[in-house]
Amino acid sequence: IWCTGVLYHNPEQLRMIARLFDWTAAGGHLVLETATARRFPTRDLPCVEIWHGVPREDMHKLHLAGHITHLPSRSAVAAWCAMAGYSDVQHSRCHRKQAFSLSRNRAAFVCHRDSQATANAYYRHTDENFPIGRAI
């Protein structure tokens, strides 16, 4: 599956990755490219920046459209891919070949779905075992 430039437009990003996992054939791959966190302190932390209610001028400075509300860090995207069930989540350095500034604001991943892989779940230790991205 090839999914580029879409994730950051979706406010339910983990749910979207879980859906992509469902669509990926056993033994198949996901290529996922997305815009990422803009603020320097959060770029490399496993977190999501919330851009709701931010002044339009600030959004414009950072080249963000007004409807973008969630920007995950590279670490957050990699964690979500693993949580959804992908194995061998590789962060590609393809953006660095174009421009260093591009690599700061975007990330690409190649994720493998094992032939025996199933979706991961939140609560493995209880009877309430909600699959990732499918809780209430």
Compare 123 and 69 and report the one with higher pLDDT.
69
pLDDT in tens, 72-99: 999 999 999 998 999 999 998 877 677 6
Helix axes 13-23, 74-84, angle to 10 degrees: 50
Confidence of residue 59 (pLDDT cuts 50, 70, 90): low
Bridge pairing between strands 87-92 and 48-50: unpaired
| pLDDT on residue 78 | 95
Joined tokens for residue 123: 């609560």
Sorting pLDDT into bands at 50, 70 and 90, what band is 32? very high
pLDDT of residue 127: 59
Alpha helices in the chain (DSSP H): 13-23, 56-61, 74-84, 94-98, 100-105
Give the pLDDT confidence score for residue 63 in this predicted structure. Answer: 62
Averaged pLDDT score across all residues of the chain: 82
For residue range 102-133, what is the model confidence (pLDDT) as tens digits? 667 889 999 999 998 777 766 555 556 666 66
d(CA 84, CA 7): 14
- The pLDDT value recorded for residue 24 is 96
The residue with tokens 């851009």 is 51
User: What are the tokens at 87?
Assistant: 């194995």
Confidence at residue 41, expressed as pLDDT on a 0 to 100 scale: 84
The one-letter amino acid code at 77 reads: V
Residue position matching structure tokens 């991205």: 133
Q: Which CATH entry fits the domain spanning 2-112: 3.10.20.30, 3.40.50.261, 3.40.50.150, 3.40.640.10?
A: 3.40.50.150
